[in-house]
Amino acid sequence: MATIYEVSSLAGVSLATVSRVINNNARVSDKTRQKVEKAMSELGYRPNSIAQSLASNCTNSVGILVSELHGPFFGQMMAGIEAELRAAGKHVIITPGHSEEDKEKEGIDFLISRNCDALIIHVEGLTDEYLIELSKGKTPIYFMSRIIPDLKENCIYLDNELGGYLATKALIEHGHTNIAYIGGPQFKPDSQNRLTGHKRALAEHKIPFNDTLYVEGDFKETGGKKGLKHFLNAKTPFTALVCANDEMASGAMTYAREHDFSLPKDLSIIGFDNIIFSRHIYPKLTTINNPVDEMGKMAAKLVLKNVYHHKDLIINHSFDPALIERDSIAYLGK
């Protein structure tokens, strides 16, 4: 591979001048610039990014930690981040944290040891305290789908409370008043806030919150099945069900169908996240849109602005969910 040195001697200029045309950050006369460019193309010269990184102390790489590499939710998130970053010539190093404290720590260490210029992480197992401590290090860290009060400027998050509110409100507007709720793991703030929104919608319509119509799930298909089973056994009547994410909604649908419910007539169900397959399942799932791809892009912009000094980027830290109406909610009595 040709080096900058060979280019300089072929072009008859110095190393420094070649470097200048590569980075075009200093004035070079048109004439010499052309000589250099000609030499570069003749040699098929490509800058060695490793050497650039060592000398400039900038790797042009940002580390991404997601819970899983597969799965619709993180897929959208990664796609959003990567697209935005790559358009700026940066690359992503992606690693999964599996929602476990140890693995998340390890993943972060791994990314930092790779000299990433910044990290964008979605962690669920780590405490705010740990993350605040981490942020004192030399690598800037940004947080997806999480609010850390002391680091709010580094966070991109969804208004989950609003989402929970919208979901339940949609059900109420279809005439339902006996509404069951399968929540996410309550150690996750997202789950808590969605539930809070649910309660607000109920309160706003003078519907009392009924403890027997709430159960905590696991954000997975089985959580939906178990949750619905629990409610059915409990015998408290209900005509509608909100699931704190789409996977659980899908599980609940499967369970309902296995028990001869005709959907949505016998039970209205609403999900949360609007993951891709929500429109593939039957009946097509009414849900709350979670704009993860946009949020991913915004996180990338945040990095571009703060770390790579791209000016003129406007940052929104908070995103709003929205109702996606499809076929899984029926009017009560219809």
Partner DNA sequence: TTGTAGGCGTTATCAC
Partner DNA sequence: GTGATAACGCCTACAA
Query: Is residue 41 part of the contact set for DNA (CB under 7 A)?
Result: no
Nearer to its own copies, 120 or 281 (CB): 281
Classify residue 41 by burial, with Cβ atoms within 10 Å: 0-12, 13-18, 19+: exposed
**Residue 326 binds which one of DNA, its own copies, none, with CB within 5 to 8 A depending on kind?**
none
25 binds, among DNA, its own copies, none (CB under 5 to 8 A by kind): DNA
Among 37, 52, 232, 306, binds DNA (CB under 7 A): 52
- Which residues between 230 and 259 bind its own copies (CB under 8 A)? 250, 253-254, 257
Q: Is 287 in the site for DNA (CB under 7 A)?
A: no
- Whole-angstrom Cα distance, residue 188 to residue 247? 16
Interactions with DNA, residue window 63-82 (CB under 7 A):
none
Q: Contact with its own copies (CB under 8 A): which of 26, 88, 276, 315? A: 276
Distance from C-alpha of 278 to C-alpha of 284, rounded to nearest angstrom: 6
Question: Judged by CB under 8 A, does residue 289 bind its own copies?
Answer: no
- CA 122, CA 73: separation in Å to the nearest integer? 11
Q: Does 68 bind its own copies (CB under 8 A)?
A: yes
Q: Which of 9, 38, 41, 54 binds DNA (CB under 7 A)?
A: 54
Is 155 a binding residue for DNA by CB under 7 A? The answer is no
- Burial status of residue 102 (CB atoms within 10 A of its CB: 0-12, 13-18, 19 or more): exposed
For residue 196, give Cα distances in angstroms to 186, 244, 258, 276, 310.
11, 11, 31, 26, 38
Report the alpha-carbon distance of residue 70 to residue 35 in Å, rounded: 48
Asked if residues 238 and 221 have their Cβ atoms less than 8 Å apart, the reply is no
277 binds its own copies (CB under 8 A): yes
Residue list 20-49, contact with its own copies (CB under 8 A) = 46-49
Residue 93 near which of DNA, its own copies, none (CB within 5-8 Å, type-dependent): its own copies
Partnered with residue 240 across adjacent β-strands are 179, 268
Work out how close the CB of 154 gets to DNA at its nearest, in angstroms, rounded to a whole number. Answer: 25
